[in-house]
Amino acid sequence: MYPVRRQISRHAARLRRERTDVEQIIWLAVRNRRLGGFKFREQHTIGDHYVADFTCLEAMLIVELDGSQHDPKIDAPRTAFLEAKGYQVLRFWNNDIIENRDGVLETIIAAFLARTAK
């Protein structure tokens, strides 16, 4: 038997290759179950149109990193779609990660624990 390989969209694959410095910081902190033993996927496709920066399927938790190009009004329908699918969406500005990486990671762990304690 051949192993099953998960298909990712071309858009998600490009985003993985062109990861920003801030995405790299968070990815290195969460990959390979480094953050509390929780499994995260990077640039995970959800639905037909959306790619989440980091997704923990076990907790139905999404971590989005927003730079200056992100407009909360434009992102609102995307967030509403993801929440309607049962995900909790955590958004952090790039500056939050640069200035308070540990605080951001603690917030992610707390959200994971709250979601999986139910």
What pTM does this model have?
Answer: 0.83
Distances 43 to 30, 100, 117 between C-alpha atoms, Å: 13, 22, 25
pLDDT for residue 20: 87
Percent of the chain clearing pLDDT 90 (strictly above): 62
Residue 10: band (very low, low, confident or very high) from pLDDT cuts 50, 70, 90: low
Reported as a single tens digit per residue, the pLDDT across 81-111 is: 999 999 999 999 999 999 999 999 999 999 9
Could you tell me the domains of the chain? 10-113 (3.40.960.10)
Q: At what angle do helices 94-116 and 21-30 cross, to 10 degrees?
A: 30
Is residue 47 within 8 A of residue 81, CB to CB? The reply is: yes
Distances 77 to 3, 32, 45, 92, 110 between C-alpha atoms, Å: 36, 31, 16, 17, 25
Higher pLDDT pick, 24 / 49:
24
